[in-house]
């Protein structure tokens, strides 16, 4: 029998085509987006990012220096803006103080250590840390989200009550550790979750029905 995770990937890629994720012009913008996207949709994140850009504040240095109140105001469209402003500040403080806000420097750190550092930052959980690692820093780590858990559990591959780490381990054991593959696969699962595998599944027409 073929590896079911590879089979799912092939079916989704064939059906939807490449997704070309993650929207963001620079690695720092992707990092910021990974924090802002918590509990909101991507359209709202884009509005907040545009505000930061127009204010000339889409750099680690600018956010590091900015007052929390001003930052909250700029990212208001992303929702939970006071909490997210604190989270952004915590992340940027970490990034500036440890790596001088330089992407080339943070990339040099090995993935395991970097993941631990990120998880130590206030407000950064496994999904956000892994999104930063994969999409901004091109480290081969699989991002697990609600869609991933839902799709795999509905197909009897893993129970949804299993931990984030167990789901991630399954992907890491089943697939070659390649950034483009992890990137594309996660995007395809999100697409499937949004279009078909909603809280109430729309199996009719879904490529995974067969």
CA dihedral 12, 29, 100, 69 (to 10 degrees): -130
The interface region with ligand SF4, picked from 29-37, 75-83, 126-134, 195-203 by CB under 6 A, is 195-203
The interface region with ligand SF4, picked from 43-51, 164-172, 177-185, 198-206 by CB under 6 A, is 198-206
Q: Does 208 bind ligand SF4 (CB under 6 A)?
A: yes
CB 196 within 8 A of CB 205: yes
Q: Does 189 bind ligand SF4 (CB under 6 A)?
A: no
Choose between 15 and 65: whose C-beta lies nearer to ligand SF4: 15
Which residue among 61, 98, 102, 202 contacts ligand SF4 (CB under 6 A)? Answer: 202
Choose between 141 and 151: whose C-beta lies nearer to ligand SF4: 151
CB 37 within 8 A of CB 45: yes
Residue 127 and residue 179: Cα distance in Å, rounded? 16
Residue 78 and residue 84: Cα distance in Å, rounded? 8
Burial label for 182, CB within 10 Å (0-12, 13-18, 19+), is buried
Which residue among 72, 128, 168, 192 contacts ligand SF4 (CB under 6 A)? Answer: 192
Q: Does 206 bind ligand SF4 (CB under 6 A)?
A: yes
CA dihedral 177, 183, 186, 189 (to 10 degrees): -120
Interacting residue ranges for ligand SF4, rule: CB under 6 A: 151, 154-155, 192, 196-197, 201-203, 206, 208-209
């Amino acid at each position: 029998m073929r590896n079911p995770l590879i089979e799912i990937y092939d079916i989704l890629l064939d059906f939807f085509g490449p997704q070309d994720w993650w929207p963001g012009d620079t690695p720092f913008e992707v990092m910021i987006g990974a924090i802002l996207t918590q509990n909101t949709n991507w359209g709202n994140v884009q509005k907040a990012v545009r505000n930061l850009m127009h204010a000339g504040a889409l750099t680690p240095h600018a956010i590091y220096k900015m007052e929390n109140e001003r930052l909250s105001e700029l990212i208001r469209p992303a929702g939970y803006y006071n909490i997210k402003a604190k989270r952004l500040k915590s992340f940027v403080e970490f990034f500036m103080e440890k790596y001088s806000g330089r992407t080339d420097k943070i990339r040099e750190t090995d993935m395991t250590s970097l993941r631990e550092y990120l998880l130590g930052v206030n407000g950064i959980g496994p999904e956000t840390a892994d999104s930063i690692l994969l999409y901004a820093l091109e480290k081969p780590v699989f991002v697990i989200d609600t869609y991933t858990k839902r799709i795999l559990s509905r197909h009897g591959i893993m129970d949804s009550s299993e931990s984030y780490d167990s789901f991630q381990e399954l992907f890491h054991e089943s697939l070659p550790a390649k950034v483009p593959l992890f990137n594309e696969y996660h995007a395809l699962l999100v697409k499937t979750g949004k279009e078909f595998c909603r809280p109430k599944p729309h199996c009719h027409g879904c490529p995974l029905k067969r």
